[in-house]
Amino acid sequence: MAIEILKHGAAVNECKELAALLERHTDGKGNGVHKTDINKLEFMRESSTSTALQCVYEPILGIVVQGKKEALLGEETYRYGAAQYLVVSVDLPLSGFVIEATPQKPYLGFKLNLDPRQLCDIIAQIRPGTPKKENSVRGLFVSNVDAPLIDCALRLTRLLDTPQDIPILAPMIIREMYYRLLMGEQGEAVRQIATSGSNMQRIAEVIKLIKADFTKPMRIEELAGQASMSPSSFHHHFKEVTSMSPLQYQKQLRLLEARRLMLAENSDAVNAAYQVGYESPSQFSREYSRMFGAPPIKDIERLRTA
């Protein structure tokens, strides 16, 4: 136990060093997500607490280096702060918002988009022990960052000061980060992201099909067949990974796209409802209000004002 406390203490100290780097690289750029010269790496900065931002998150590793954040998946709440990380392993509709930040001490986040193919390549080189019985795991988890992982994040961020080194060294460090995730306390969950035939990967493939065609009526039997599962087994594993049923997942995709159409393309509520697959505008309005806390017109007005 004493060794674990010392290890976490070392990670916290390195996290403060990483916070100083992110502060410098995002200073003067305002709030929001900032791309870097390293492909797949982004930084997030917020100088005040924020309202929930709902969108579909693709597989990511997100390390909080300063402040605190909250993520909502269905009816589940995940809170994580400095020296903790979040991994999203399949495409999930999430609400995320900052719950601790000030102008003097802004929220700072390190975000790396995950590539399942690279993970698969590393898994193939690791000689696993006796295979464990696979249980479906949630496609999102929070954990304390350890010293080796935060050290990788530090070295990757430092490369931004020597851009000539990025093409050669960045891929090597990112590969090491994947290895550290696989060898960490959430290794089994990370492994399932890229293990051929795992329940998570089969559900991930079905999620891609739902996302590609979410406006059309859903046929559970066909989706279960794509996952090589019975309908009841498919429903169970889908809910284990995403925390919601396939129909609930499709509904969230539809409502998020309808919101985007109204906000970005000035579509009216009725037209947006039909475009995303609703046949009843009244049903659309009820479900929209339930998800976003206000009817379509009021919600869009609120977003534009904000």
CA distance 4 to 152: 19
Which CATH code for domain 248-305? Answer: 1.10.10.60
Interior/surface letters 98-135, b for 16+ CB within 10 angstroms, e for the rest: bebbeeeebbbbbbbebbbeebbebbeeeeeeeeeeee
CA distance 133 to 232: 20
Class of domain 2-125+135-191: mainly beta
CA distance 58 to 115: 10
pLDDT in tens, the chain (306 residues): 544 554 556 788 899 999 999 999 999 899 999 999 999 999 999 999 977 778 999 999 999 999 999 999 988 999 999 999 999 989 999 999 999 999 999 999 999 999 988 988 888 888 655 445 456 688 999 999 999 999 999 999 999 999 999 999 999 999 999 999 999 888 888 888 877 778 888 999 999 999 999 999 999 999 999 999 999 999 999 999 999 999 999 999 999 999 999 999 999 999 999 999 999 999 999 999 999 999 999 999 988 886
CA distance 161 to 164: 9
CA distance 25 to 16: 14
Q: 3-class SS at 92?
A: strand
